Amino acid sequence: MQHYSDEEILAFYRDEKSQNMALHYLIQKYQKKLYWHIRKIVICHDDTDDVLQNTFIKIWKGLAGFKEEAQLFTWLYRIATNESLTFLKQKQKLNTTSIHPIEYQLSKSLESDDFFKGDEIQLKLQKAILTLPEKQRVVFNMRYYDEMPYEQMSEVLETSVGALKASYHIAAKKIEEILLNN
């Protein structure tokens, strides 16, 4: 599958005749990256699917106002991150039956998730990650799994590199402690 560059996709978008193609190429290029980024935040596959679709709809609606000073990739990641966190907040609000925080519910749902294929240690790791505050969780996932440079993370999360490094360090230490204690 051929992937067009971000510049080419934006050029397709600007031309009314090829706008549909732009949407197609945009989804083709970024669907997997954004899916896995969202999935690690919202955990459940069905929720991820909802958030991913909402993310693409937001991206599409906002693409006209996208300033090319920033990279398309970081802008997409930012929207996906915000959508995921907003989704979790809404889910927490809607779930009035449980007194536990949403992270606890996500952790419990992992055990029965058909689409989670990890072994025991992977389950423990995911549960440990879910104990982190949401911002630290996002930082840890982006650094540990996506191996994103701090500079890029800084653009996505609009936080300084120093703060991100500190955040990652605290998150990794906490996870270590949890894993060792278990």
Partner 1 sequence: MKNNEHNFDNEPNFPFDENGKNPFGMPLDYFASFEDKLKKKMELENELSEFPLLSSIQKTNAFQTPVDYFTKSENALEHALELVSFQKLQSIKTPDFADLETDYIRELNVSLVAKIELADELKSYSTLYALDKVNSFAVSDNYFEDLHLRVKERIYSEKHLSVSVFEKILDFVFGKKIAFSFGLALVISLSIYFYQDSKNSLMTNNCQTLACLEKQEILNDKSVNNFDEDQLMDLVNVKSLDKQLKAETSLTDTLQQEFILNNINTDQLLEELQ
Query: Can you say whether the dihedral through the CA atoms of 138, 134, 26, 116 is positive or negative?
Result: positive
Q: Which of 3, 14, 24, 100 binds partner 1 (CB under 8 A)?
A: 24
How many whole angstroms separate alpha carbon 159 and alpha carbon 29? Answer: 26
Q: Does 40 contact partner 1 by CB under 8 A?
A: yes
Q: Which is nearer to partner 1, 163 or 172 (CB)?
A: 172
Q: How many CB atoms lie within 10 A of CB 132?
A: 21
Applying the rule CB under 8 A, the residues between 67 and 106 that interact with partner 1 are none
How many whole angstroms separate alpha carbon 60 and alpha carbon 40? Answer: 23
In contact, 134 and 88? CB cutoff 8 Å: yes
Q: Which is nearer to partner 1, 45 or 135 (CB)?
A: 45
Instruction: Write the interaction track for partner 1 spanning residues 156-175; mark x where CB under 8 A is met and - where it is not.
Output: ----------------xx-x
In contact, 137 and 130? CB cutoff 8 Å: yes
Binding site for partner 1 (CB under 8 A): 20, 23-24, 27-28, 31-32, 35-36, 39-40, 45, 49, 52-53, 56-57, 60, 115-119, 121-123, 125-126, 143-145, 147, 149, 172-173, 175-176, 179-180
